[in-house]
Amino acid sequence: MSGIFTAAACGSRDTHINPAVTLGVAIASGNYSKLAPYITAQMLGAFAGAVLVWLHFLPHWAGTQDPIRKLSCFCSHPAIPNKLANLISEIIPTSLLVFVAGCILSRPNLPRGWVRSWLPRWSGD
């Protein structure tokens, strides 16, 4: 959410920092023109972030023999591998994040008139 609020504070109307949000907005609005450039930028940003993490931990790679501990810098991994349970454990927080973001940007939480001028048509106008 900090990325969304930062982009909004800097004057951006398109605060998509996640491909899922970009896809959801495209489907809801029917406007797919920004889908490819936004998702490309998001993936490049994620790659740049992963490279920075890799560079930051570069001195530690030689001293860490366990590959799972090295992988933990970039992603989470289940203690008990169960594909269905692990999928559900990803779906629940992602759904919650999308729901909370929608609530934050809902009419009751924004100043009067701001929704119409800032959010795309799909916001319920």
User: Where is pLDDT greater, at 115 or 85?
Assistant: 85
* Closest residue by Cα to residue 11 from 96, 118, 98: 118
Share of the chain above pLDDT 70, in %: 79
The pTM assigned to this predicted structure is 0.57
Structural domain range at position 63: 2-123
User: Where is pLDDT greater, at 49 or 112?
Assistant: 49
User: Where is pLDDT greater, at 27 or 101?
Assistant: 27
Domain count, the chain: 1
Q: Say yes or no to pLDDT of 75 above 80.
A: no
Q: What is the DSSP letter of 13?
A: S
Residue 13 token pair: 């109307």
- Report the C-alpha gap between 76 and 53 in whole angstroms: 14
Q: What is the pLDDT of residues 2-26, one digit of tens each?
A: 777 777 777 667 777 788 778 877 8
Confidence label for 85 from pLDDT (cuts 50, 70 and 90): very high
Q: What is the pLDDT of residues 22-43, one digit of tens each?
A: 887 788 778 899 899 999 999 9
- Report the C-alpha gap between 25 and 20 in whole angstroms: 9
The mean pLDDT of 95-114, rounded to a whole number, is: 71
- Report the C-alpha gap between 49 and 96 in whole angstroms: 24
* CB-CB contact of 12 with 1 (8 Å): no
